[in-house]
Protein backbone atom coordinates (compact mmCIF):
# COMPACT_ATOMS: atom_id res chain seq x y z
CA UNK A 1 0.00 0.00 0.00
CA UNK A 2 1.41 3.38 -0.93
CA UNK A 3 1.98 6.14 1.57
CA UNK A 4 -0.11 9.30 1.07
CA UNK A 5 2.08 12.08 -0.31
CA UNK A 6 1.12 14.39 2.53
CA UNK A 7 2.72 12.03 5.04
CA UNK A 8 5.98 11.19 3.32
CA UNK A 9 9.23 12.02 5.16
CA UNK A 10 10.20 14.39 2.35
CA UNK A 11 7.05 16.47 2.69
CA UNK A 12 7.44 16.65 6.46
CA UNK A 13 10.99 17.84 5.93
CA UNK A 14 9.86 20.70 3.69
CA UNK A 15 6.91 21.76 5.84
CA UNK A 16 7.12 25.42 6.83
CA UNK A 17 8.37 25.61 10.44
CA UNK A 18 5.89 26.81 13.00
CA UNK A 19 6.51 30.38 14.11
CA UNK A 20 7.35 31.37 17.68
CA UNK A 21 5.30 34.55 17.55
CA UNK A 22 8.31 36.78 16.84
CA UNK A 23 7.08 40.16 15.67
CA UNK A 24 10.21 40.97 13.71
CA UNK A 25 9.65 37.86 11.57
CA UNK A 26 6.08 38.80 10.75
CA UNK A 27 4.23 36.75 13.35
CA UNK A 28 1.95 39.44 14.71
CA UNK A 29 -1.21 37.47 15.37
CA UNK A 30 -1.65 36.45 19.03
CA UNK A 31 -0.81 32.79 19.60
CA UNK A 32 -2.19 32.43 23.13
CA UNK A 33 -4.69 34.07 25.45
CA UNK A 34 -2.11 36.33 27.12
CA UNK A 35 -0.96 37.71 23.79
CA UNK A 36 -4.55 38.22 22.71
CA UNK A 37 -5.34 40.22 25.85
CA UNK A 38 -2.31 42.43 25.33
CA UNK A 39 -3.24 43.05 21.70
CA UNK A 40 -6.80 43.92 22.68
CA UNK A 41 -5.68 46.63 25.10
CA UNK A 42 -2.33 47.81 26.43
CA UNK A 43 -1.88 46.99 30.10
CA UNK A 44 -1.02 50.61 30.85
CA UNK A 45 -4.58 51.61 29.99
CA UNK A 46 -6.05 49.75 32.97
CA UNK A 47 -5.01 52.48 35.38
CA UNK A 48 -7.83 54.79 34.37
CA UNK A 49 -10.41 52.02 34.60
CA UNK A 50 -9.25 51.28 38.13
CA UNK A 51 -9.65 54.94 39.08
CA UNK A 52 -12.91 55.64 37.25
CA UNK A 53 -14.76 52.32 37.48
CA UNK A 54 -13.38 49.50 39.62
CA UNK A 55 -12.45 51.53 42.69
CA UNK A 56 -15.93 53.05 42.69
CA UNK A 57 -18.00 49.96 41.84
CA UNK A 58 -15.97 47.38 43.71
CA UNK A 59 -14.37 43.99 43.08
CA UNK A 60 -17.33 42.44 41.28
CA UNK A 61 -17.16 45.09 38.53
CA UNK A 62 -13.67 44.09 37.41
CA UNK A 63 -13.28 42.61 33.92
CA UNK A 64 -11.52 39.20 34.27
CA UNK A 65 -9.02 40.15 31.55
CA UNK A 66 -8.02 43.13 33.68
CA UNK A 67 -8.19 41.29 36.99
CA UNK A 68 -5.84 38.43 36.05
CA UNK A 69 -3.88 40.22 33.36
CA UNK A 70 -3.58 43.96 32.99
CA UNK A 71 -3.72 44.71 36.73
CA UNK A 72 -0.17 43.40 36.88
CA UNK A 73 1.02 46.39 34.85
CA UNK A 74 0.39 48.38 38.04
CA UNK A 75 1.76 45.91 40.55
CA UNK A 76 -1.53 44.25 41.48
CA UNK A 77 -2.10 40.50 41.85
CA UNK A 78 -5.12 38.91 43.46
CA UNK A 79 -3.87 37.01 46.48
CA UNK A 80 -4.74 33.43 47.34
CA UNK A 81 -8.05 32.78 49.01
CA UNK A 82 -7.37 31.54 52.57
CA UNK A 83 -7.87 27.85 53.34
CA UNK A 84 -6.99 26.39 49.93
CA UNK A 85 -4.31 23.76 50.39
CA UNK A 86 -1.35 23.23 48.07
CA UNK A 87 -2.85 20.17 46.44
CA UNK A 88 -5.48 22.41 44.84
CA UNK A 89 -3.04 24.93 43.33
CA UNK A 90 -2.83 23.28 39.90
CA UNK A 91 -6.39 21.94 39.96
CA UNK A 92 -8.66 24.91 40.63
CA UNK A 93 -9.55 27.60 38.13
CA UNK A 94 -8.16 31.12 38.71
CA UNK A 95 -11.50 32.44 39.92
CA UNK A 96 -11.59 29.68 42.54
CA UNK A 97 -8.15 30.62 43.84
CA UNK A 98 -8.70 34.39 43.78
CA UNK A 99 -9.39 36.26 46.96
CA UNK A 100 -11.08 39.65 46.84
CA UNK A 101 -7.87 41.29 48.09
CA UNK A 102 -4.64 42.16 46.32
CA UNK A 103 -0.93 42.02 46.73
CA UNK A 104 0.46 45.43 45.76
CA UNK A 105 4.12 45.70 44.79
CA UNK A 106 5.85 49.05 45.21
CA UNK A 107 8.82 49.33 42.88
CA UNK A 108 11.98 50.73 44.44
CA UNK A 109 14.48 51.19 41.63
CA UNK A 110 18.04 50.83 42.83
CA UNK A 111 16.65 50.09 46.29
CA UNK A 112 16.73 53.85 46.99
CA UNK A 113 14.38 55.36 49.56
CA UNK A 114 14.30 58.56 51.55
CA UNK A 115 12.51 58.72 54.88
CA UNK A 116 9.41 60.42 53.52
CA UNK A 117 9.02 57.53 51.08
CA UNK A 118 9.63 54.88 53.73
CA UNK A 119 7.11 56.46 56.07
CA UNK A 120 4.55 56.71 53.28
CA UNK A 121 4.86 52.97 52.62
CA UNK A 122 4.60 52.34 56.38
CA UNK A 123 1.42 54.40 56.65
CA UNK A 124 -0.14 52.73 53.60
CA UNK A 125 0.72 49.36 55.12
CA UNK A 126 -1.03 50.20 58.36
CA UNK A 127 -4.04 51.93 56.84
CA UNK A 128 -4.75 49.76 53.81
CA UNK A 129 -2.79 46.49 54.09
CA UNK A 130 -3.41 45.22 57.64
CA UNK A 131 0.15 46.19 58.55
CA UNK A 132 1.76 43.78 56.08
CA UNK A 133 5.06 44.49 54.33
CA UNK A 134 7.60 42.13 52.81
CA UNK A 135 11.03 43.05 51.45
CA UNK A 136 11.59 41.13 48.22
CA UNK A 137 14.77 39.79 46.68
CA UNK A 138 14.44 42.39 43.93
CA UNK A 139 14.47 45.40 46.30
CA UNK A 140 10.70 45.98 46.19
CA UNK A 141 8.25 46.12 49.07
CA UNK A 142 5.04 44.08 48.80
CA UNK A 143 1.83 44.78 50.68
CA UNK A 144 -1.14 42.45 51.11
CA UNK A 145 -4.87 42.63 51.88
CA UNK A 146 -5.27 45.69 49.65
CA UNK A 147 -8.84 46.39 48.45
CA UNK A 148 -9.49 47.75 44.99
CA UNK A 149 -11.38 50.70 46.48
CA UNK A 150 -8.16 51.87 48.16
CA UNK A 151 -5.85 51.71 45.16
CA UNK A 152 -6.32 55.26 43.77
CA UNK A 153 -5.59 56.80 47.15
CA UNK A 154 -2.54 54.56 47.59
CA UNK A 155 -1.23 55.64 44.19
CA UNK A 156 -1.81 59.29 44.99
CA UNK A 157 0.15 59.00 48.23
CA UNK A 158 2.98 57.03 46.68
CA UNK A 159 3.32 59.35 43.71
CA UNK A 160 3.34 62.41 45.97
CA UNK A 161 6.70 61.21 47.32
CA UNK A 162 8.10 59.96 44.00
CA UNK A 163 7.18 56.27 44.25
CA UNK A 164 5.14 54.14 41.88
CA UNK A 165 3.69 50.70 41.21
CA UNK A 166 3.84 51.19 37.42
CA UNK A 167 5.07 48.02 35.72
CA UNK A 168 6.06 46.44 39.01
CA UNK A 169 4.58 43.26 37.48
CA UNK A 170 3.35 42.21 34.04
CA UNK A 171 5.08 41.58 30.71
CA UNK A 172 7.15 44.70 31.17
CA UNK A 173 10.56 46.00 32.28
CA UNK A 174 10.38 45.29 36.01
CA UNK A 175 12.22 47.13 38.81
CA UNK A 176 15.81 48.10 38.00
CA UNK A 177 18.09 46.56 40.58
CA UNK A 178 21.08 48.54 41.80
CA UNK A 179 23.67 48.45 44.55
CA UNK A 180 22.31 49.98 47.78
CA UNK A 181 25.74 51.54 48.33
CA UNK A 182 25.86 53.33 44.97
CA UNK A 183 27.78 56.55 45.33
CA UNK A 184 29.07 55.85 48.84
CA UNK A 185 31.16 52.67 48.61
CA UNK A 186 34.82 53.64 48.59
CA UNK A 187 35.66 50.57 46.49
CA UNK A 188 32.89 50.74 43.90
CA UNK A 189 33.94 50.60 40.27
CA UNK A 190 31.35 53.15 39.16
CA UNK A 191 28.25 54.83 40.58
CA UNK A 192 25.36 53.68 38.40
CA UNK A 193 22.65 55.88 39.96
CA UNK A 194 22.37 58.21 36.97
CA UNK A 195 22.06 55.29 34.57
CA UNK A 196 19.30 53.71 36.67
CA UNK A 197 17.35 56.97 36.50
CA UNK A 198 17.96 57.29 32.75
CA UNK A 199 16.73 53.76 32.06
CA UNK A 200 13.69 54.26 34.27
CA UNK A 201 12.71 57.52 32.62
CA UNK A 202 13.11 56.08 29.15
CA UNK A 203 11.31 52.73 29.37
CA UNK A 204 9.03 52.59 32.42
CA UNK A 205 5.47 53.49 31.47
CA UNK A 206 6.50 53.82 27.83
CA UNK A 207 3.93 52.13 25.54
CA UNK A 208 6.77 51.18 23.19
CA UNK A 209 7.92 48.64 25.79
CA UNK A 210 4.72 47.79 27.66
CA UNK A 211 3.96 44.67 25.61
CA UNK A 212 6.95 42.35 25.96
CA UNK A 213 6.74 38.56 25.54
CA UNK A 214 7.06 38.22 29.31
CA UNK A 215 8.71 39.96 32.25
CA UNK A 216 12.10 41.57 31.77
CA UNK A 217 14.57 41.98 34.64
CA UNK A 218 17.38 44.54 34.76
CA UNK A 219 20.39 44.90 37.06
CA UNK A 220 22.89 47.75 36.99
CA UNK A 221 25.77 48.15 39.39
CA UNK A 222 29.39 49.04 39.97
CA UNK A 223 29.45 47.16 43.26
CA UNK A 224 32.68 45.23 43.92
CA UNK A 225 30.66 42.54 45.72
CA UNK A 226 28.43 42.06 42.63
CA UNK A 227 25.41 42.41 44.89
CA UNK A 228 22.83 42.67 42.10
CA UNK A 229 23.30 39.03 41.02
CA UNK A 230 23.91 39.97 37.40
CA UNK A 231 24.26 36.31 36.42
CA UNK A 232 20.51 35.67 36.64
CA UNK A 233 19.00 38.79 35.08
CA UNK A 234 17.68 39.30 31.56
CA UNK A 235 20.12 42.18 31.13
CA UNK A 236 22.83 43.36 33.49
CA UNK A 237 25.45 46.07 33.39
CA UNK A 238 28.47 45.28 35.58
CA UNK A 239 31.04 47.93 36.47
CA UNK A 240 34.46 47.49 34.85
CA UNK A 241 37.54 49.56 34.01
CA UNK A 242 38.93 49.24 30.48
CA UNK A 243 42.56 49.22 29.37
CA UNK A 244 42.55 53.03 29.16
CA UNK A 245 41.48 53.35 32.77
CA UNK A 246 37.91 54.42 31.92
CA UNK A 247 35.08 53.21 34.11
CA UNK A 248 32.05 51.75 32.31
CA UNK A 249 30.03 48.58 32.13
CA UNK A 250 30.30 45.00 30.93
CA UNK A 251 27.05 43.76 29.33
CA UNK A 252 25.40 40.44 30.23
CA UNK A 253 22.17 39.07 28.73
CA UNK A 254 19.88 36.06 29.03
CA UNK A 255 19.98 35.06 32.68
CA UNK A 256 17.00 33.61 34.52
CA UNK A 257 15.89 30.78 36.78
CA UNK A 258 12.46 29.13 37.17
CA UNK A 259 11.95 25.67 35.64
CA UNK A 260 14.61 26.16 32.93
CA UNK A 261 17.48 27.98 34.66
CA UNK A 262 20.18 29.63 32.57
CA UNK A 263 23.08 31.86 33.53
CA UNK A 264 23.52 35.16 31.71
CA UNK A 265 26.18 35.41 29.04
CA UNK A 266 28.73 38.17 28.45
CA UNK A 267 28.56 39.95 25.12
CA UNK A 268 32.15 41.09 25.57
CA UNK A 269 31.44 44.77 25.00
CA UNK A 270 32.39 47.92 26.89
CA UNK A 271 29.45 50.27 27.47
CA UNK A 272 30.32 53.84 28.40
CA UNK A 273 28.05 55.50 30.97
CA UNK A 274 26.46 57.78 28.36
CA UNK A 275 25.47 54.78 26.20
CA UNK A 276 23.87 52.63 28.91
CA UNK A 277 20.27 53.78 28.34
CA UNK A 278 20.64 53.33 24.58
CA UNK A 279 22.04 49.81 24.97
CA UNK A 280 19.38 48.86 27.50
CA UNK A 281 16.66 50.13 25.20
CA UNK A 282 18.20 48.10 22.38
CA UNK A 283 18.18 44.89 24.42
CA UNK A 284 14.56 45.48 25.45
CA UNK A 285 13.73 46.13 21.81
CA UNK A 286 15.28 42.84 20.73
CA UNK A 287 13.22 41.02 23.34
CA UNK A 288 10.04 42.79 22.23
CA UNK A 289 10.62 42.13 18.53
CA UNK A 290 12.37 38.75 18.48
CA UNK A 291 11.23 37.20 21.75
CA UNK A 292 9.16 34.02 21.62
CA UNK A 293 5.46 34.69 22.17
CA UNK A 294 3.87 31.36 21.21
CA UNK A 295 4.52 29.46 24.47
CA UNK A 296 4.59 31.30 27.81
CA UNK A 297 7.18 28.95 29.29
CA UNK A 298 9.62 29.90 26.49
CA UNK A 299 8.78 33.60 26.40
CA UNK A 300 11.88 34.80 28.26
CA UNK A 301 14.98 36.41 26.77
CA UNK A 302 17.20 33.55 27.98
CA UNK A 303 15.71 31.18 25.38
CA UNK A 304 16.43 33.59 22.54
CA UNK A 305 20.00 34.18 23.74
CA UNK A 306 20.52 30.46 24.11
CA UNK A 307 19.29 29.81 20.56
CA UNK A 308 21.07 32.74 18.92
CA UNK A 309 24.33 32.73 20.81
CA UNK A 310 26.17 35.85 21.94
CA UNK A 311 27.78 36.62 18.57
CA UNK A 312 24.45 36.94 16.76
CA UNK A 313 22.83 38.78 19.67
CA UNK A 314 25.61 41.36 19.66
CA UNK A 315 25.41 41.72 15.88
CA UNK A 316 21.65 42.34 15.92
CA UNK A 317 21.99 44.77 18.82
CA UNK A 318 24.67 46.79 17.06
CA UNK A 319 23.32 46.76 13.51
CA UNK A 320 19.54 46.90 13.96
CA UNK A 321 19.12 48.85 17.20
CA UNK A 322 22.20 50.91 18.03
CA UNK A 323 23.28 51.50 14.41
CA UNK A 324 26.91 51.47 15.55
CA UNK A 325 29.41 48.94 16.89
CA UNK A 326 30.32 48.67 20.55
CA UNK A 327 33.97 48.37 21.56
CA UNK A 328 35.25 45.16 23.09
CA UNK A 329 35.69 45.29 26.83
CA UNK A 330 37.09 43.45 29.83
CA UNK A 331 35.32 40.99 32.09
CA UNK A 332 34.50 42.10 35.65
CA UNK A 333 36.88 41.45 38.50
CA UNK A 334 35.98 38.56 40.78
CA UNK A 335 33.46 39.61 43.47
CA UNK A 336 34.75 40.94 46.75
CA UNK A 337 33.94 38.63 49.66
CA UNK A 338 31.68 35.63 49.92
CA UNK A 339 28.51 37.47 50.96
CA UNK A 340 26.69 39.99 48.79
CA UNK A 341 24.15 41.40 51.23
CA UNK A 342 25.88 44.47 52.76
CA UNK A 343 24.87 43.46 56.28
CA UNK A 344 27.03 44.93 59.05
CA UNK A 345 28.77 48.25 59.74
CA UNK A 346 31.16 49.64 57.14
CA UNK A 347 32.76 52.98 56.37
CA UNK A 348 31.60 55.08 53.45
CA UNK A 349 34.03 56.98 51.25
CA UNK A 350 32.99 60.25 52.94
CA UNK A 351 34.00 58.99 56.40
CA UNK A 352 30.48 58.26 57.60
CA UNK A 353 29.17 54.71 58.00
CA UNK A 354 26.38 52.57 56.65
CA UNK A 355 24.59 50.00 58.77
CA UNK A 356 23.04 46.96 57.10
CA UNK A 357 20.60 44.80 59.05
CA UNK A 358 18.61 41.61 58.63
CA UNK A 359 14.88 41.24 59.24
CA UNK A 360 13.87 37.57 59.16
CA UNK A 361 13.37 36.49 55.54
CA UNK A 362 12.33 40.00 54.58
CA UNK A 363 9.21 40.03 56.73
CA UNK A 364 8.58 43.40 58.33
CA UNK A 365 5.40 45.42 58.88
CA UNK A 366 4.17 48.98 58.80
CA UNK A 367 5.20 49.68 62.38
CA UNK A 368 8.65 48.24 61.81
CA UNK A 369 9.19 50.37 58.72
CA UNK A 370 8.30 53.47 60.71
CA UNK A 371 10.69 52.42 63.49
CA UNK A 372 13.48 52.12 60.90
CA UNK A 373 12.69 55.60 59.60
CA UNK A 374 12.67 57.02 63.14
CA UNK A 375 16.03 55.43 63.99
CA UNK A 376 17.58 56.82 60.83
CA UNK A 377 16.19 60.30 61.44
CA UNK A 378 17.32 60.41 65.08
CA UNK A 379 20.85 59.74 63.91
CA UNK A 380 20.98 62.28 61.10
CA UNK A 381 20.22 60.10 58.07
CA UNK A 382 17.58 60.63 55.41
CA UNK A 383 18.55 57.66 53.23
CA UNK A 384 17.73 53.98 53.55
CA UNK A 385 18.15 51.22 51.03
CA UNK A 386 16.67 47.81 50.27
CA UNK A 387 18.91 44.97 49.07
CA UNK A 388 18.46 42.00 46.75
CA UNK A 389 18.75 39.66 49.75
CA UNK A 390 15.61 40.89 51.58
CA UNK A 391 17.69 43.15 53.85
CA UNK A 392 17.93 46.91 54.50
CA UNK A 393 20.68 49.48 54.95
CA UNK A 394 20.75 52.88 56.66
CA UNK A 395 23.27 55.26 55.09
CA UNK A 396 25.18 58.32 56.31
CA UNK A 397 25.69 57.59 60.00
CA UNK A 398 28.33 59.70 61.73
CA UNK A 399 31.09 57.69 63.45
CA UNK A 400 30.01 58.72 66.95
CA UNK A 401 26.43 57.56 66.33
CA UNK A 402 27.08 54.09 64.93
CA UNK A 403 26.88 52.26 68.25
CA UNK A 404 23.57 53.90 69.08
CA UNK A 405 22.08 52.98 65.71
CA UNK A 406 23.18 49.37 66.09
CA UNK A 407 21.75 49.18 69.61
CA UNK A 408 18.36 50.55 68.55
CA UNK A 409 18.12 48.26 65.54
CA UNK A 410 19.04 45.21 67.60
CA UNK A 411 16.49 46.20 70.25
CA UNK A 412 13.84 46.01 67.53
CA UNK A 413 14.99 42.57 66.30
CA UNK A 414 16.70 44.08 63.25
CA UNK A 415 20.03 42.37 63.61
CA UNK A 416 23.24 44.01 62.43
CA UNK A 417 25.41 41.04 63.44
CA UNK A 418 23.09 38.12 62.67
CA UNK A 419 23.88 34.44 62.59
CA UNK A 420 24.68 32.92 59.21
CA UNK A 421 21.22 31.38 59.21
CA UNK A 422 19.39 34.64 59.84
CA UNK A 423 21.66 36.52 57.46
CA UNK A 424 21.49 34.17 54.51
CA UNK A 425 18.05 32.54 54.55
CA UNK A 426 15.50 33.89 52.07
CA UNK A 427 11.91 32.88 51.40
CA UNK A 428 9.32 33.75 48.77
CA UNK A 429 5.73 34.72 49.62
CA UNK A 430 4.48 31.12 49.74
CA UNK A 431 0.99 29.71 50.11
CA UNK A 432 -0.05 32.35 52.64
CA UNK A 433 -0.77 34.76 49.77
CA UNK A 434 0.49 33.33 46.46
CA UNK A 435 -1.85 31.51 44.09
CA UNK A 436 1.02 29.57 42.52
CA UNK A 437 2.42 28.24 45.79
CA UNK A 438 2.13 24.67 47.03
CA UNK A 439 3.60 25.06 50.53
CA UNK A 440 4.08 27.63 53.28
CA UNK A 441 7.45 29.39 53.21
CA UNK A 442 7.87 32.45 55.45
CA UNK A 443 6.95 30.85 58.77
CA UNK A 444 8.73 27.63 57.79
CA UNK A 445 11.92 29.57 57.07
CA UNK A 446 11.67 31.65 60.25
CA UNK A 447 11.18 28.53 62.36
CA UNK A 448 14.12 26.91 60.57
CA UNK A 449 16.35 29.87 61.44
CA UNK A 450 15.40 29.62 65.11
CA UNK A 451 16.10 25.88 65.22
CA UNK A 452 19.45 26.15 63.44
CA UNK A 453 20.58 28.97 65.72
CA UNK A 454 19.73 26.78 68.68
CA UNK A 455 21.31 23.60 67.32
CA UNK A 456 24.38 25.05 65.57
CA UNK A 457 25.22 28.21 67.54
CA UNK A 458 28.89 28.24 66.52
CA UNK A 459 28.46 27.74 62.77
CA UNK A 460 29.73 30.86 61.02
CA UNK A 461 30.52 29.86 57.43
CA UNK A 462 28.72 31.49 54.49
CA UNK A 463 25.63 29.41 53.69
CA UNK A 464 22.58 30.43 51.69
CA UNK A 465 19.26 28.69 52.36
CA UNK A 466 16.53 29.69 49.92
CA UNK A 467 12.94 28.54 50.47
CA UNK A 468 10.47 28.55 47.58
CA UNK A 469 6.80 27.63 47.59
CA UNK A 470 6.67 26.29 44.02
CA UNK A 471 9.01 25.49 41.09
CA UNK A 472 9.19 29.10 39.82
CA UNK A 473 12.26 30.01 41.89
CA UNK A 474 11.29 33.50 43.02
CA UNK A 475 13.65 32.84 45.95
CA UNK A 476 16.47 31.67 43.63
CA UNK A 477 16.63 28.06 44.80
CA UNK A 478 18.94 26.79 42.04
CA UNK A 479 21.77 29.14 43.01
CA UNK A 480 21.53 28.61 46.78
CA UNK A 481 23.80 26.41 48.86
CA UNK A 482 20.61 24.73 50.05
CA UNK A 483 17.67 25.38 47.74
CA UNK A 484 14.26 24.15 48.84
CA UNK A 485 11.54 23.76 46.20
CA UNK A 486 8.11 23.38 47.72
CA UNK A 487 6.05 20.35 46.83
CA UNK A 488 3.76 17.82 48.45
CA UNK A 489 5.56 14.72 49.75
CA UNK A 490 4.55 11.53 51.53
CA UNK A 491 5.53 11.26 55.19
CA UNK A 492 6.40 8.16 57.22
CA UNK A 493 2.70 7.46 57.78
CA UNK A 494 1.88 7.55 54.08
CA UNK A 495 0.11 10.89 54.34
CA UNK A 496 0.59 13.68 51.80
CA UNK A 497 2.12 16.69 53.55
CA UNK A 498 4.03 19.86 52.76
CA UNK A 499 7.67 19.32 51.92
CA UNK A 500 10.58 20.23 49.68
CA UNK A 501 12.73 18.88 46.92
CA UNK A 502 16.33 19.76 47.77
CA UNK A 503 18.95 21.40 45.54
CA UNK A 504 22.48 21.48 46.96
CA UNK A 505 25.56 23.49 46.11
CA UNK A 506 24.26 26.21 43.82
CA UNK A 507 26.30 29.40 43.72
CA UNK A 508 26.91 32.73 42.03
CA UNK A 509 30.21 34.52 41.72
CA UNK A 510 33.57 32.84 41.26
CA UNK A 511 32.14 29.45 40.27
CA UNK A 512 28.55 30.17 39.28
CA UNK A 513 26.44 27.06 38.85
CA UNK A 514 23.16 25.40 39.65
CA UNK A 515 22.56 23.15 42.61
CA UNK A 516 23.01 19.41 42.55
CA UNK A 517 19.86 17.31 42.68
CA UNK A 518 20.35 13.97 44.41
CA UNK A 519 17.88 11.32 43.31
CA UNK A 520 14.95 11.11 45.68
CA UNK A 521 16.30 13.79 48.03
CA UNK A 522 13.20 15.32 49.62
CA UNK A 523 12.07 16.23 53.10
CA UNK A 524 8.83 17.03 54.82
CA UNK A 525 8.51 20.54 56.22
CA UNK A 526 8.39 19.04 59.70
CA UNK A 527 11.68 17.19 59.20
CA UNK A 528 13.42 20.14 57.52
CA UNK A 529 15.40 21.31 60.60
CA UNK A 530 16.70 17.77 61.13
CA UNK A 531 17.79 17.50 57.51
CA UNK A 532 19.55 20.88 57.34
CA UNK A 533 21.25 20.28 60.69
CA UNK A 534 22.55 16.94 59.44
CA UNK A 535 23.93 18.12 56.09
CA UNK A 536 25.45 21.31 57.52
CA UNK A 537 27.10 19.31 60.30
CA UNK A 538 28.54 16.93 57.69
CA UNK A 539 29.98 19.87 55.78
CA UNK A 540 31.38 21.46 58.91
CA UNK A 541 33.20 18.28 59.91
CA UNK A 542 34.46 17.36 56.43
CA UNK A 543 35.36 20.70 54.83
CA UNK A 544 38.91 21.44 53.84
CA UNK A 545 40.63 24.73 54.65
CA UNK A 546 38.72 27.51 52.88
CA UNK A 547 36.33 25.11 51.13
CA UNK A 548 32.87 26.48 50.45
CA UNK A 549 29.69 24.49 50.94
CA UNK A 550 29.12 24.43 47.17
CA UNK A 551 32.59 23.01 46.53
CA UNK A 552 32.13 20.40 49.25
CA UNK A 553 28.82 19.30 47.76
CA UNK A 554 30.49 18.53 44.44
CA UNK A 555 32.86 16.02 46.04
CA UNK A 556 30.71 14.74 48.92
CA UNK A 557 29.34 11.21 49.01
CA UNK A 558 25.61 11.06 48.39
CA UNK A 559 25.15 9.49 51.81
CA UNK A 560 26.48 12.67 53.42
CA UNK A 561 23.98 14.77 51.49
CA UNK A 562 20.91 12.87 52.67
Beta-carbon contacts of 21 under 8 Å, excluding residues fewer than 6 positions away, are: 27, 30, 31, 35, 213, 292, 293, 294
Alpha helix (H) residue ranges in 3-77: 9-14, 33-40, 46-49, 55-57, 64-67
Q: Give me the pLDDT at residue 3, please.
A: 37
Alpha helix (H) residue ranges in 185-344: 193-203, 276-290, 301-308, 310-316
Going residue by residue through the chain, which has 562 residues, state the pLDDT in tens, using 9 for 90 and above.
333 333 334 434 444 456 899 999 999 999 999 999 999 999 999 999 999 999 999 999 999 999 999 999 999 999 999 999 999 999 999 889 999 999 999 999 999 999 999 999 999 999 999 999 999 999 999 999 999 999 999 999 999 999 999 999 999 999 999 999 999 999 999 999 999 999 999 999 999 999 999 999 999 999 999 999 999 999 999 999 999 999 999 999 999 998 899 999 999 999 999 999 999 999 999 999 999 999 999 999 999 999 999 999 999 999 999 999 999 999 999 998 778 889 999 999 999 999 999 999 999 999 999 999 999 999 999 999 999 999 999 999 999 999 999 999 999 999 999 999 999 999 999 999 999 999 999 999 999 999 999 999 999 999 999 999 999 999 999 999 999 999 999 999 999 999 999 999 999 987 889 988 888 899 999 999 999 999 999 999 999 999 999 999 999 999 999 9
Tell how far CA 464 is from the center of its chain: 16
Determine the Cα–Cα distance for residues 64 and 66; give it in Å rounded to an integer: 5
**Contact predicate 524/484, CB 8 Å:** no
Q: Give me the pLDDT at residue 4, please.
A: 37
| Single pTM value for the model | 0.95
Determine the Cα–Cα distance for residues 200 and 164; give it in Å rounded to an integer: 11
Determine the Cα–Cα distance for residues 130 and 143; give it in Å rounded to an integer: 9
Q: Give me the pLDDT at residue 523, please.
A: 97
* 372-395 per-residue burial string, b: 16 or more CB within 10 A, e: under 16: bbbbbeebebebbbbbbbbbbbbb
- Structural Rg of the chain based on CA atoms: 24
Residue 470, helix vs strand vs coil: coil
Beta-carbon contacts of 318 under 8 Å, excluding residues fewer than 6 positions away, are: 324, 325, 326
CA distances from 125 to 80, 100, 146, 381 (A): 19, 17, 9, 22
Residue 177, helix vs strand vs coil: strand
Determine the Cα–Cα distance for residues 437 and 471; give it in Å rounded to an integer: 9
Determine the Cα–Cα distance for residues 44 and 65; give it in Å rounded to an integer: 13
Determine the Cα–Cα distance for residues 461 and 481; give it in Å rounded to an integer: 11
365, 378, 346: which is closest to 413 by C-alpha? 365
Determine the Cα–Cα distance for residues 478 and 484; give it in Å rounded to an integer: 9
Amino acid sequence: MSTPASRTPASRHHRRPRGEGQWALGYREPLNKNEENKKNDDGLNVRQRIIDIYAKRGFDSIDPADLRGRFRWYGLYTQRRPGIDGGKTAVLEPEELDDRYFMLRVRIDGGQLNLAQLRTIADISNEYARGTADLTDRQNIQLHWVEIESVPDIWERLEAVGLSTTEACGDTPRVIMGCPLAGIDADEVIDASDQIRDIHDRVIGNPAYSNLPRKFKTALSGCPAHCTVHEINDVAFVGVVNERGEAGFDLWVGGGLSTNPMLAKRLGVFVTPDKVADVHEGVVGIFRDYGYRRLRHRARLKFLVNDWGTEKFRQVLETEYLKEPLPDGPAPEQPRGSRRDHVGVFQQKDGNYYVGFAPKVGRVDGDKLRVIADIAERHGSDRVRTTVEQKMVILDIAPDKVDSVVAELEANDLQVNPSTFRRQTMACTGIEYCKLAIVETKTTAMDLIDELERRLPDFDQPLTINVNGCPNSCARIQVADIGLKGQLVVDENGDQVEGFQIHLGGSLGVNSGFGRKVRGLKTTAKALPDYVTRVVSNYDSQKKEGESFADWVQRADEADLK
